């Protein structure tokens, strides 16, 4: 009997459809079964929004969502719930890192090599990340994503340096259950002006190298085009790096196009001129903002623009990541130390001005360095804790990485709070994080979407 190609493909299609419904496996196994019910009990539950503590607390979880929150005696509808008892631990929402770079892990090169290869804003470590194999980079991203999750970071907004689609593919792989990691909002390539990035690169290759990492925003047409190009790679957010070259019409065009596509825009801006361009263009968040003026803080508050604080270098960070591997001449070491002290003082002042202004703020780690002795997750959470060292009240630090961050991301309906209807993303610590913010660095329990990632409180 002869059958046509079309008949064969129709039969194959039918076979596949039948198979999909009758042979559930892997991700499909639970498709039609009743979702698992879990009851998590703990000594305390902190609500970062109000600062209220529920003690003792119980959270009923069905599938990946929270169904009920209350004192254990008031939880009904228990059914066949699996019970996880965390004893006296304090629960809080899973952490949100609003400014991450999961596909970048810079090993700071020795001083001499750094000088030899110094190339404008292209530090050798950054350049190497771009020119090496994208497959290698993606696998490293999977490792750093897992390390984030194990430290309690259940949501990440990844803002660039991922290659063309590294972060959106990592997001999809995590969502498909192929690798463990946080929920990811991916920005794809960073939008930049031509600026300094091409200095000293091999001119025959520079465009090809740049295209791996960036999209240009020079001119309003290119700005719109670059937003659309990122959108075609299925990004969740647009990241623009603003410097003094970027014009208001260029950034306004990018923001307008992004908003038309229902994407928020995060703008890296350090100096007052770039910050003003970002405010005037209607950015959704300003990243870093180190040199922001009081007037600009007021403008941001009035317009509802979020400030995303990134105290990455606070407290001599650079020395901490370089000293284990680089022997510095005493003069260089001393210069680094006094620059760290000056930087700390400036950041302390910034934090006080931000708190006084009433501007909405979140926090991001901006972690993209290899930190000797720490995983990416541990290094990132240490950055949040730095905000506390800079005299941010503990509750405000916790808000900055939970409820505030969720609002900044536009995900306030799904993460950032322990409430019915939200994803069951939870973190548990042994002590009281409001009394001691460093508790965040020692999470003993992590749950993402109802799945236990770690539980050091489990009785052995
Ligand atoms: Zn960054």
Ligand 1 center–CA 368 separation, angstroms = 8
The pLDDT mean for the chain works out to: 89
Ligand 1 center–CA 365 separation, angstroms = 8
Ligand 1 center–CA 361 separation, angstroms = 16
Ligand 1 center–CA 110 separation, angstroms = 22
Lowest-pLDDT range, 92-96, 118-122, 241-245? Answer: 118-122
Ligand 1 center–CA 342 separation, angstroms = 22
Tell me the percentage of the chain whose pLDDT exceeds 90. 72
Ligand 1 center–CA 84 separation, angstroms = 37
Side-by-side strand order, sheet with 53-54: 53-54, 44-46, 90-93, 426-429, 443-448, 451-455
Phi, psi of 229 (to 5 degrees): -65, -45
pLDDT at site 337: 86
Among candidate residues 60, 30, 56, the one with its CA nearest the CA of residue 424: 60
Among candidate residues 394, 425, 431, 413, the one with its CA nearest the CA of residue 43: 431
Ligand 1 center–CA 400 separation, angstroms = 17
Indicate yes or no: pTM above 0.95.
no
Q: Encode 226-256 in three state secondary structure.
A: HHHHHHHCCCCEEEEECCCCCCHHHHHHHHH
pLDDT by residue (tens digit) across 149-179? 999 999 999 999 999 999 999 999 999 999 9
Ligand 1 center–CA 285 separation, angstroms = 13
pLDDT at 50 over 70: yes
β-pairing verdict for 237-241 and 264-269: parallel
Task: Give residue 188's Cα distance to chain centre.
Answer: 13
Ligand 1 center–CA 376 separation, angstroms = 14
Ligand 1 center–CA 99 separation, angstroms = 6
Ligand 1 center–CA 127 separation, angstroms = 15
Ligand 1 center–CA 340 separation, angstroms = 19
Ligand 1 center–CA 28 separation, angstroms = 37
Ligand 1 center–CA 55 separation, angstroms = 38
Q: Report d(CA 313, CA 99) in Å as an integer.
A: 14
Ligand 1 center–CA 62 separation, angstroms = 36
Tallying the residues shown for the chain, one arrives at 460
**Confidence label for 131 from pLDDT (cuts 50, 70 and 90):** confident
Measured distance between the N- and C-terminal CA atoms of the chain, rounded to whole angstroms: 65
Task: Give residue 181's Cα distance to chain centre.
Answer: 11
> Mean of the pLDDT values across residues 373-386?
96
pLDDT at site 215: 96
Ligand 1 center–CA 433 separation, angstroms = 27
Among candidate residues 152, 175, 190, 162, the one with its CA nearest the CA of residue 102: 162
Ligand 1 center–CA 141 separation, angstroms = 15
Count each helix (H run) and each strand (E run) in the chain, helices first: 15, 20
Three-class DSSP category at 308 = strand
> Mean of the pLDDT values across residues 46-63?
97
Ligand 1 center–CA 160 separation, angstroms = 7
Ligand 1 center–CA 239 separation, angstroms = 9
pLDDT at site 112: 55
Ligand 1 center–CA 7 separation, angstroms = 53
> Mean of the pLDDT values across residues 223-234?
97
Lowest-pLDDT range, 154-158, 263-267, 314-318, 409-413? Answer: 314-318
pLDDT at site 118: 52
pLDDT by residue (tens digit) across 417-460? 999 999 999 999 999 999 999 999 999 999 999 999 999 998 65
Q: Report d(CA 63, CA 427) in Å as an integer.
A: 17
All residues at 6 or more sequence positions from 302 whose CB lies less than 8 Å from its CB, including other chains: none
Neighbours of 39 (CB within 10 A): 19
Task: Give residue 157's Cα distance to chain centre.
Answer: 3
| Greater model confidence, 437 or 35 | 437
Ligand 1 center–CA 455 separation, angstroms = 31
Ligand 1 center–CA 69 separation, angstroms = 36
pLDDT at site 107: 80
pLDDT by residue (tens digit) across 284-318? 999 999 999 999 999 999 999 999 999 988 888 87
Tokens 């501007």 belong to which residue?
359
Ligand 1 center–CA 261 separation, angstroms = 23
Among candidate residues 363, 381, 367, 386, the one with its CA nearest the CA of residue 308: 363
Ligand 1 center–CA 198 separation, angstroms = 19
Q: Report d(CA 77, CA 82) in Å as an integer.
A: 13
Tell me the percentage of the chain whose pLDDT exceeds 70. 87
| Greater model confidence, 18 or 280 | 280
Ligand 1 center–CA 366 separation, angstroms = 5
pLDDT at 363 over 50: yes
pLDDT at site 109: 66
pLDDT at site 199: 63
> Mean of the pLDDT values across residues 216-230?
97
pLDDT at site 124: 61
Task: Give residue 56's Cα distance to chain centre.
Answer: 31
Ligand 1 center–CA 112 separation, angstroms = 25
**Confidence label for 3 from pLDDT (cuts 50, 70 and 90):** very low
Task: Give residue 409's Cα distance to chain centre.
Answer: 10
pLDDT at 334 over 90: no
Ligand 1 center–CA 64 separation, angstroms = 30
């Amino acid at each position: 009997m002869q059958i046509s190609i079309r008949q064969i493909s129709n039969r194959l299609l039918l076979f596949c459809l039948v198979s999909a419904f009758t042979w559930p496996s892997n991700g499909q196994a639970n498709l039609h079964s009743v979702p698992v019910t879990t009851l998590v009990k703990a000594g305390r539950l902190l609500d970062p929004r109000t600062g209220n503590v529920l003690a003792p607390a119980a959270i009923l979880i069905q599938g990946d969502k929270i169904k009920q929150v209350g004192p254990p005696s008031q939880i009904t509808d228990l059914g066949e719930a699996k019970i996880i008892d965390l004893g006296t631990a304090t629960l809080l929402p899973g952490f949100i890192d609003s400014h991450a770079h999961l596909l970048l892990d810079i090993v700071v090169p020795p001083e001499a090599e750094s000088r030899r290869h110094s190339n404008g804003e292209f530090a050798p470590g950054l350049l190497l990340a771009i020119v090496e194999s994208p497959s290698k980079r993606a696998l490293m991203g999977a490792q750093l994503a897992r390390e984030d999750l194990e430290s309690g970071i259940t949501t990440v907004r990844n803002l660039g340096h991922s290659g063309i689609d590294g972060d959106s593919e990592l997001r999809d792989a995590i969502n498909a259950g192929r690798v463990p990691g946080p929920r990811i909002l991916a920005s794809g390539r960073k939008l930049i002006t031509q600026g300094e990035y091409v200095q000293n690169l091999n001119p025959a290759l520079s465009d090809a190298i740049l295209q791996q990492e960036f999209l240009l925003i020079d001119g309003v047409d290119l700005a719109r085009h670059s937003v659309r190009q990122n959108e075609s790679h299925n990004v969740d957010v647009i990241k623009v790096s603003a410097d003094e070259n970027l014009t208001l019409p260029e950034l306004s065009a990018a923001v307008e196009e992004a908003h038309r596509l229902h994407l928020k825009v995060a703008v890296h801006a350090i100096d007052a001129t770039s910050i003003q361009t970002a405010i005037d263009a209607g950015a959704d968040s300003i990243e870093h903002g180190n040199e922001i003026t009081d007037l600009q803080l007021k403008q941001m508050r009035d317009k509802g623009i979020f400030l995303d604080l990134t105290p990455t270098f606070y407290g001599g960070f650079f020395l901490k990541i370089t000293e284990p591997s680089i022997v510095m001449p005493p003069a260089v070491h001393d210069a680094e130390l006094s620059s760290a002290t000056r930087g700390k003082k400036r950041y302390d002042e910034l934090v006080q001005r931000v708190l006084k202004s009433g501007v909405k703020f979140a926090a991001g780690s901006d972690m993209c360095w290899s930190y000797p002795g720490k995983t990416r997750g541990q290094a990132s959470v240490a950055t949040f804790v730095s905000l506390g060292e800079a005299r941010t009240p503990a509750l405000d630090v916790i808000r900055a990485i939970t409820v505030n961050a969720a609002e900044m991301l536009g995900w306030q309906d799904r993460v950032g709070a322990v409430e019915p209807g939200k994803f069951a993303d939870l973190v548990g610590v042994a002590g009281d994080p409001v009394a001691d913010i460093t508790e965040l660095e020692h999470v003993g329990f992590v749950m993402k979407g109802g799945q236990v990632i770690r539980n050091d409180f489990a009785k052995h």
